[in-house]
Structure 1
């Protein structure tokens, strides 16, 4: 099942690549990070700004492991496959535990409900994010916790603080759950809780401001009023879907408390992307949902007070039902659609535009082919505030990042925007490249 999931998500990434589907600038940003690490440099990301160290944006030093991957395969596609493999790996321990506790049929269904659930599918659809590394760490930690191997649970949970700054709070809650679970593991659980809380404070209030060009934590200003946590209704829809992912009965498990830190910062935030069931924010909650479900249903080998078979099957089916209802609208459904395997009719023009940009130059681009430029050029965001004037500009006049406003021809736009002369290099099917005279 893990291999099948990795293959499915990897192939979906290939479909997106061939179809010129770019959800945001994130794939390009993380590609710049991977390239930097492969060249043993700090993760400076010109897409975010001149000399912008991405460790001042979010605390994710675990991304250094992308360096060797990029060195072997210097393409944004490599990141999509890394994420796919991490998702597949995360299903292995949880599904094995589900089979052990529920039997083969219910266990496989529970594992499939996790691996192909709405949370992971939505994350894959918006392409690569650092949270992919949290999935196997959470899966192995929670599995070890439920098997009573608390030292292993602590060891797998500890590196989560290196994935993203807010994961420190999740680690702290996991440490508290372990401490309450077993008197023998109380000291280790409390140590893990202190470790997670300490790294959250250190990364958020010391490391990130120190490395951020503005000397601050950029996302602190996204918090709204405490009363806004409960509105709009979209937030409650997300909670309901997560409860269903845990089979509803999973709410009985203390493990569900590990969802609270993520939900707290999302629902307290004033960014609409944080609230809903789509995007990548629910991915880290899906291993927690399955672990809570398995905890609440008990172990068929040792728990005499576990729920009856009808309750167990109802809970497992409920965990899969929400994804089944949404299936036709979820990204993996595209694997069965012949049209989704066809390259974009604009693919040749996009490739020609990328080829028209000389190598090793500073190029400003919008979202459509931004990631494709990263392996060979120093890429900026056309709407950014970089002080450096780019050598070339690559514009997709149909890109959504222009907000429906046609920027006009690339040479005129660039000349007016940067206050210097740009000449047209190529134009085809909406893609245009303009460069300063003498750029080679």
Structure 2
């Protein structure tokens, strides 16, 4: 049996048991929260899909990846480039576990459902942990606040990313840390190194947290595992498989760049991210060492030269939500009360504070858009989009911008228009929302410039969508 310092695991577990007896426990509350959260995100995904709302090329990329895995092929993703191995872009081999799901349901929308279920599972797990310590009502409040938090909502809005798998894994690990189950914490955290390369540093941080709380070798081994895989991924695997022979994002991970532009540390977008973390938890995360697990993620984001990483939108903050809420739970239940009574009183209302903050933040977040009276209206260009897709010959290879790319990858070989590609059967652009520069001209102009040796003719034009195909396609 491992030795634990006085006031760590046994005290936490005892506190949890006393809380369950005092407040009551509902075995169905976590299930109800998970169902509610999953339903909300699936409904949002279905609404997005019906409106032909595409945030980026990422959903298409991951759909192609899983299509290759489901066929037991190397992850060659032509959206990124002809012959491009996606394991040379980011290190996410754990996504291969989704191959059977994609094989059964070979559709890009499947990934949106998978992501919704990942968020739902994490919310249910957290609800169960919260109600064990604070009771059924408080557990449901915190579980819903977690499940509908701004980081997860913006990730859902950005559609599927590999980080979806990390949310339940990190939630399970940090809950286990909170409850003094050190082996379980390590088991939950270890696979994170195969979700994305930077999460090796997060795993190392979890290991250090375990060492801090338990003085157990398991934490040290976990920290070494995480940091070791970060080095293997960034120094060996990614450079080996990347066409350029280097880690594709090394130039953006430049901590020294801040020395030449110190003002960037105080950028408004970074401030918004930090402020939202504090508002969502009522500032209580500052009372918990669990919050230190955020440091690797916030460091690589804020020290990056890519300003797209800095703000609270996109999927980059999804991984922060389990950390923030477990830190909040730790702050409410920790056995280290402040000498100031008002701080203890404030902390004791942590569930109500987080629930209120989450509720007040909702109007500015993506999910409420589904219940907007205008949400049920058919996208004005939806009929044109459907007609454009129907005009693409079955099995044709297509060069496309991001406009309808995600709707083509299931049944066509798709390339992104910004790369150097082999001559396709068709070229499809969305002149309004596809991202193709207007100065490139119409689809015929683009086809002539990018594939000058191949003849194309306009076969569809409506609603801003233009399709040109080879006569023999």
- Give the match for residue 174 of structure 1: 206
- Give the match for residue 450 of structure 2: 417
CA positional deviation for 1:169:
0.2
- Give the match for residue 22 of structure 2: none
Q: Distance in 1 between matches of 2:272 and 2:111?
A: 31
- For residues 14-57 of structure 1, give each alpha carbon's deviation from its aligned partner in whole angstroms, at most 9, with x where no partner exists: 00000011111111111111111111111111111111111000
- For residues 99-120 of structure 1, give each alpha carbon's deviation from its aligned partner in whole angstroms, at most 9, with x where no partner exists: 1222233222222111101010
SS of 2:251 mapped into structure 1: helix
SS of 1:394 mapped into structure 2: strand
Q: Which of 332, 343, 346 is the equivalent residue of 1:297?
A: 332
Q: Distance in 2 between matches of 1:400 and 1:425?
A: 18
Q: Distance in 2 between matches of 1:320 and 1:241?
A: 14
CA positional deviation for 1:337:
1.8
Mapping of 1:37-76 within 5 angstroms? Answer: 37-76=69-108
Structure 1: runs of 5 or more not aligned: none
Kept in 2: contact 1:397–1:406 (CA 8 A): no
Kept in 2: contact 1:80–1:128 (CA 8 A): yes
Q: Which of 132, 135, 159 is the equivalent residue of 1:103?
A: 135
- For residues 143-190 of structure 1, give each alpha carbon's deviation from its aligned partner in whole angstroms, at most 9, with x where no partner exists: 11111111111100000001000000000010011112113xx11110
Mapping of 1:169-248 within 5 angstroms? Answer: 169-183=201-215, 186-224=216-254, 225-227=257-259, 228=262, 230-248=265-283
SS of 2:394 mapped into structure 1: coil
Kept in 2: contact 1:241–1:322 (CA 8 A): no
- For residues 347-388 of structure 1, give each alpha carbon's deviation from its aligned partner in whole angstroms, at most 9, with x where no partner exists: 2221221122223332101111101110111101112223x1
Q: Distance in 2 between matches of 1:181 and 1:245?
A: 25
Kept in 1: contact 2:287–2:331 (CA 8 A): yes
Counterpart check, 1:330 vs 2:365? yes
Change (3 A) 1:260 1:166: same
- For residues 298-331 of structure 1, give each alpha carbon's deviation from its aligned partner in whole angstroms, at most 9, with x where no partner exists: 16xxx49588774135433443444433322211
217-226 or 130-139, larger mean C-alpha shift: 217-226
- Give the match for residue 423 of structure 2: 389
- For residues 186-236 of structure 1, give each alpha carbon's deviation from its aligned partner in whole angstroms, at most 9, with x where no partner exists: 111100000000000000110000000110001011135134462313212
Q: Which of 324, 342, 359 is the equivalent residue of 2:394?
A: 359
SS of 1:6 mapped into structure 2: helix
Change (3 A) 1:73 1:338: farther
SS of 2:468 mapped into structure 1: strand
Kept in 2: contact 1:244–1:318 (CA 8 A): no
Kept in 1: contact 2:332–2:348 (CA 8 A): no
SS of 2:206 mapped into structure 1: helix
Q: Distance in 2 between matches of 1:61 and 1:414?
A: 36
- Give the match for residue 144 of structure 1: 176
111-120 or 239-248, larger mean C-alpha shift: 239-248
360-369 or 287-296, larger mean C-alpha shift: 360-369
Moved over 6 A (4+): 306-309
Q: Distance in 1 between matches of 2:371 and 2:274?
A: 30
Q: Distance in 1 between matches of 2:396 and 2:90?
A: 27
CA positional deviation for 1:247:
3.1
Mapping of 1:276-315 within 5 angstroms? Answer: 276-298=311-333, 303=335, 305=337, 310-312=345-347, 314-315=349-350
CA positional deviation for 1:248:
1.2
Q: Distance in 1 between matches of 2:268 and 2:424?
A: 44
- For residues 67-114 of structure 1, give each alpha carbon's deviation from its aligned partner in whole angstroms, at most 9, with x where no partner exists: 111211111110000000000000122111111222233222222111
311-320 or 259-268, larger mean C-alpha shift: 311-320
Kept in 1: contact 2:153–2:365 (CA 8 A): yes
Q: Which of 461, 468, 472 is the equivalent residue of 1:427?
A: 461
Counterpart check, 1:249 vs 2:279? no
238-247 or 36-45, larger mean C-alpha shift: 238-247
Change (3 A) 1:257 1:309: closer
Q: Distance in 1 between matches of 2:371 and 2:336?
A: 43
**Backbone CA RMSD of aligned residues:** 1.8
Change (3 A) 1:138 1:282: same
Kept in 1: contact 2:331–2:347 (CA 8 A): no
Q: Distance in 1 between matches of 2:42 and 2:364?
A: 18
